Amino acid sequence: MTPLVFLALALAGGLGAGSRFVLDGLIRSRVTSSYPLATLVINITGSFLLGLATGLTLSATLAPEVQLIVGAGFLGGYTTFSTASVESVRLVREGRYGVALVSSVGMLVGAVIASAAGLLLGGL
């Protein structure tokens, strides 16, 4: 990887994180739910888009450098695993086991299915 691609990838990750912050706030301010819906929406949409970008790259529609910057960069920064873990543990500590199961196992299954749909749509 060239230094320029690495730099672009890091900047894209920053923009991805910024997008996550804004979208998270918008969802939280509009949806009055005690379920951490924002992280679910972010991780599932991000996984779908990474599947799509990966499918397009593997079917040689997208250049590998673009895949790195958009995939590992933007979408890597946009989606987050650590927040999902901490939110699930907090739900368990509050005794809300059903919601915790959705925010852990449900999110994982949803993200894997969303990414698989993206891969298919991308031509893989």
Partner 1 sequence: MRPPHLQPTLIAIVIVGGAFGTAAREALSLSIASIGSFPLAIFLINVVGSFALGLLLEGLVRSGADTGRRRNVRLLAGTGFLGGFTTYSALATDTDLLLRAGDIGIGILYAVGTLLVGLVAAWAGIVIAASTHRRRNNPGVGA
Q: Which residues bind partner 1 (CB under 8 A)?
A: 1, 6, 9-18, 20-22, 24-26, 29, 43, 46-47, 49-51, 54, 71-73, 75-86, 88-90, 92-93, 104-105, 107-108, 111-112, 114-116, 118-119, 124
The answer to whether 102 and 35 have CB atoms below 8 angstroms apart is: yes
CA dist list (Å): 13 to 31, 72, 114: 26, 8, 21
Q: Which is nearer to partner 1, 6 or 35 (CB)?
A: 6
Q: How far is the CB of 111 from partner 1 (least distance, A)?
A: 4
Residues in the chain, overall count: 124
Q: How far is the CB of 69 from partner 1 (least distance, A)?
A: 10
